[in-house]
Amino acid sequence: MKKSIKWLTILTSIVSLSGSFIVHSQTLNPSYLSEMPAPVRVIAEIKGKDAADAGARQLGAFNILVTVISDMAYGLEHRSERQLTPDEQRITTTYQKAYVDLWHKVKDSYGKEYQGDYNHDRDLLVELLDKLFSANFRTQYFKVNGFAAAWYKKVHANGATGGTGESTYVNTGSANNPDTRAPDPSIAKARAANVDTTVFGLQLGEPLRLPTCASMFDVPTTCFYEDDDFAKEIGEALGGAPARNPRERWRLVFVHKGPKVDALLYDGLLAAVKFETGGINADPQWAKELREKYGPPTLVRPFTYTPRIGNTLKANDLEWRLPGLHVEYNAVLKKPNSTEVITVDGGSVYVEAEAAYQRRLAKEKEQEKRTKM
């Protein structure tokens, strides 16, 4: 209770009566920041099916709001997360601190009951846009984030919204029509921001230029192995529901002087790769190399694993939300959408174009709904 009182006291100096950020009546830079909701308002507005779920959704909301700021920075002025204005940095830091404070409270209060992960929940994004932002802000945001615009339109078209029910969808052309959709802008966005889009020499956004091996049992210099059963299996494991889109296909790739990777092709272009690491023992080296390649992570998720025999192990899962690119690092292998550890002797790295990441989230959402039916 003391922590909550202290947090509210500090917050009153920077929050208006409407629950948005201000600085002594001065205009924020950029001006859209005046609509960013204060943490107290987020907690007051975002509910759940029970207290534990509400906490999980509020945590997700803070992470989504951090992403909204980075999306607006890039979309409006082509600035990366490392080029935020002082006001953007201050509000981002406020959300991150609110997340940490709430995370400890939720974990201490509900423990294993806290199972939800809403960090990338697009339905939650729609709810935030409806409840906490004006129509003018939504119009601005949809101009820089076509994926959010398309999802917003879809949710309201289905009548599945907890917000105002109004639609301020900005026409983004043929975003929902895969047959006439314009080329994926993710890679161009990443390159414009000087984000490295190569993975072991494989270039995202380009055709997979590798010779075919005569046999997967030959130890090749570079090759790639095709198998219909494998494609189905890895598609189910990594993409949620089995792929129904014939434009999307998984490939198993053996990289010269590198690991075996699972490569996702969309329209014949490399959209994402996933590969395994050596697990928690290899964590320091992988964390170091990924930080050197992508800079400071956007999110750091500490976890503790206590085996039946042996010492307690600690490590961090890392996530980067870069312009046009999404990177996830898991120090150990876990069950899908779960904190349950499968093995500490293996970890994973997932590097994907922003569009591929959005498609994966949509499939996982559909799979989760089918599981609950």
Residues 250 and 358 in one domain: yes
> What pLDDT sits at residue 312?
80
Residue 241 reports pLDDT greater than 60: no
- Phi/psi for 273 (5° steps) reads -135, 150
Task: Tell me, yes or no, whether 244 lies in a domain.
Answer: yes
- For the chain, how many structural domains are there in total? 2
Domain, as residue range, for 362: 189-372
> What pLDDT sits at residue 30?
92
Task: Tell me, yes or no, whether 156 lies in a domain.
Answer: no
Task: Tell me, yes or no, whether 209 lies in a domain.
Answer: yes
Residue 4 reports pLDDT greater than 70: no
Could you say which of 62, 93, 120 is where a domain stops? 120
Residue 55 and residue 105 in contact, taking contact as beta carbons nearer than 8 Å: yes
Residues 203 and 110 in one domain: no
CA distance 330 to 283: 9
CA distance 325 to 309: 39
Task: Tell me, yes or no, whether 305 lies in a domain.
Answer: yes
Residues 201 and 347 in one domain: yes
CA angle 361, 131, 110 (to 5 degrees): 65
Least confident window among 37-46, 62-71, 249-258: 249-258
Residues 320 and 197 in one domain: yes
Could you say which of 120, 143, 162 is where a domain stops? 120
Task: Tell me, yes or no, whether 31 lies in a domain.
Answer: yes
Helix 354-372 with 228-239: angle, nearest 10 deg: 80
Q: Tell me the pLDDT band of 90, cut-offs 50, 70 and 90.
A: very high
Residue 2 reports pLDDT greater than 70: no
- Phi/psi for 146 (5° steps) reads -65, -30
SS3 295: coil
CA distance 248 to 132: 36
Task: Summarize pLDDT for 297-344 with one digit per residue, the tens.
Answer: 999 988 887 777 777 888 889 999 999 999 999 988 877 666 777 887
CA angle 307, 312, 317 (to 5 degrees): 95
Residues 108 and 237 in one domain: no
CA distance 60 to 201: 34
Residues 326 and 241 in one domain: yes
Could you say which of 101, 120, 139 is where a domain stops? 120
Residue 127 reports pLDDT greater than 90: yes
CA distance 231 to 250: 5
Q: In which element (H, E) is residue 16 found?
A: none
Q: Tell me the pLDDT band of 89, cut-offs 50, 70 and 90.
A: very high
Query: In terms of pTM, does the model score above 0.75?
Result: no
Residues 111 and 208 in one domain: no
Residues 209 and 100 in one domain: no
Most confident of the following: 25-34, 113-122, 181-190? 25-34
Task: Summarize pLDDT for 266-287 with one digit per residue, the tens.
Answer: 888 899 999 888 888 888 888 9
% residues pLDDT > 70 (the chain): 71
Task: Tell me, yes or no, whether 331 lies in a domain.
Answer: yes
**Residue (of 37, 16, 39) closest to 26 by Cα position:** 16
**For the chain, what's the residue count?**
373
Average pLDDT over residues 51-58: 89
Task: Summarize pLDDT for 228-240 with one digit per residue, the tens.
Answer: 555 565 556 655 5
Q: Tell me the pLDDT band of 350, cut-offs 50, 70 and 90.
A: very high
Q: Tell me the pLDDT band of 87, cut-offs 50, 70 and 90.
A: very high
Residue 70 and residue 141 in contact, taking contact as beta carbons nearer than 8 Å: no
Task: Summarize pLDDT for 332-343 with one digit per residue, the tens.
Answer: 887 766 677 788
| CB contact set of 150 (below 8 Å; sequence gap of 6+) | 172, 175, 176
**Beta pairing class for 299-305 and 313-322:** antiparallel
Phi-psi region of 240 (alpha: psi -120 to 50; beta: other; left: phi over 0): left
DSSP track, 171-228: P-SSTT-TTTPPPP-HHHHHHHTT---EETTEETTSB---PBPS-TTS--SSEEE--H
Task: Summarize pLDDT for 165-203 with one digit per residue, the tens.
Answer: 333 333 333 333 333 334 568 888 888 888 999 888 788
Strand partners, 248: 266
Q: Exposed e or buried b for every residue in 196-235, given b needs 16+ CB within 10 A?
A: ebebeebebbeebebeebeeeeeebebbbbeeeeebeebb
Residues 97 and 211 in one domain: no
Residues 362 and 260 in one domain: yes
Q: Tell me the pLDDT band of 122, cut-offs 50, 70 and 90.
A: confident
Residue 121 reports pLDDT greater than 50: yes
Task: Tell me, yes or no, whether 214 lies in a domain.
Answer: yes
Task: Tell me, yes or no, whether 146 lies in a domain.
Answer: no
